[in-house]
Amino acid sequence: MSRPVFATIDQQALRHNLAIARQAAPGARVWSVVKANAYGHGLARVWESLAQTDGFALLNMEEAILLRDSGWRKPILLLEGFFHAEDLQLIDRYRLTTSVHSNWQIKALAEARLSAPVDIYLKVNSGMNRLGFRPEQAHGAYQKLRALENVGDITLMAHFADAENPEGLIAPLQRIERAAEGLAIPRSLSNSACTLWHPEAHYDWVRPGIILYGASPSGDWQDIASTGLKPVMTLNSEIIGIQQLSRGDGVGYGYRYHAQQEQRIGVVACGYADGYPRHAPTGTPVCVDGVMTQVVGAVSMDMITVDLTSCPQAGIGSTVELWGEQVKIDQVAKAAGTVGYELMCALAPRVPVRVI
Ligand SMILES: *Cc1c(COP(=O)(O)O)cnc(C)c1O
pLDDT tens per residue across span 69-80: 999 999 999 999
At 131-151, the pLDDT tens digits run 999 999 999 999 999 999 999
At 152-208, the pLDDT tens digits run 999 999 999 998 888 998 999 999 999 899 899 999 999 999 999 999 999 999 999
**318 pLDDT above the threshold of 70:** yes
pLDDT (average), residues 116-141: 95
**Nearest CA residue ID for atom 10, ligand 1:** 191
Give the pLDDT confidence score for residue 344 in this predicted structure: 98
Most ligand 1 atoms within 8 A of CB, residue of 18, 20, 30, 33 to mutate: 33
At 54-65, the pLDDT tens digits run 999 999 999 999
Q: What is the dihedral of CA 70, 72, 78, 84, to 10 degrees?
A: 50
**289 pLDDT above the threshold of 90:** yes
pLDDT (average), residues 340-356: 97
Q: What is the pTM of this model?
A: 0.96
Nearest atom of ligand 1 to the alpha carbon of 207 = 10
Q: What is the 193 CA–ligand 1 centroid distance (Å)?
A: 9
Q: Are the C-beta atoms of residues 330 and 219 closer than 8 Å to each other?
A: yes
Nearest atom of ligand 1 to the alpha carbon of 59 = 15
Least trusted range by pLDDT, from 14-23, 34-43, 160-169, 256-265: 160-169
- Report the first-to-last Cα separation within the chain, whole angstroms: 18
Give the gyration radius of the chain's Cα atoms: 23
Q: What is the 210 CA–ligand 1 centroid distance (Å)?
A: 8
Q: What is the 192 CA–ligand 1 centroid distance (Å)?
A: 7
Least trusted range by pLDDT, from 172-176, 208-212, 269-273: 172-176
pLDDT band at 2 (very low <50, low <70, confident <90, very high): confident
Question: CA-CA distance, 342 to 79, in Å (whole number)?
Answer: 19
Q: Ligand 1 — pocket residues by CB below 6 A?
A: 33, 35, 79, 159, 191-192, 207-210, 217
**From the candidates 35, 123, 328, 334, which is the catalytic residue?**
35
The set of residues, in sequence order, having a beta carbon less than 8 Å from that of 113 and lying 6+ positions away, is none
Question: CA-CA distance, 305 to 298, in Å (whole number)?
Answer: 8
Is residue 350 marked as binding? no
Label residue 159 exposed, middle or buried (CB < 10 Å: 0-12, 13-18, 19+). Answer: buried
pLDDT (average), residues 323-333: 98
Nearest atom of ligand 1 to the alpha carbon of 211 = 9
Count Cβ neighbours within 10 Å for each residue of 28-45 and write b for 16 or more, e otherwise: bbbbbbbbbbbbbbbbee
Q: Catalytic: 142?
A: no
User: What percent of the chain lies above the pLDDT cut of 90?
Assistant: 95
**From the candidates 74, 107, 253, 255, which is the catalytic residue?**
253
Nearest atom of ligand 1 to the alpha carbon of 163 = 7
**Nearest CA residue ID for atom 6, ligand 1:** 209
Give the pLDDT confidence score for residue 179 in this predicted structure: 87
pLDDT (average), residues 203-224: 97
**Nearest CA residue ID for atom 4, ligand 1:** 209
CA geometry: angle 256, 269, 314, nearest 5 deg: 85
CA atoms in the 13 A half-sphere facing the CB of 223: 16
Is residue 301 marked as binding? yes
Name 239's bridge partners: 268
Q: Catalytic: 144?
A: no
**Nearest CA residue ID for atom 1, ligand 1:** 209
**217 pLDDT above the threshold of 70:** yes
Mean pLDDT of the chain: 96
Q: What is the dihedral of CA 148, 154, 160, 161, to 10 degrees?
A: -20
Name 296's bridge partners: none
Give the pLDDT confidence score for residue 1 in this predicted structure: 58
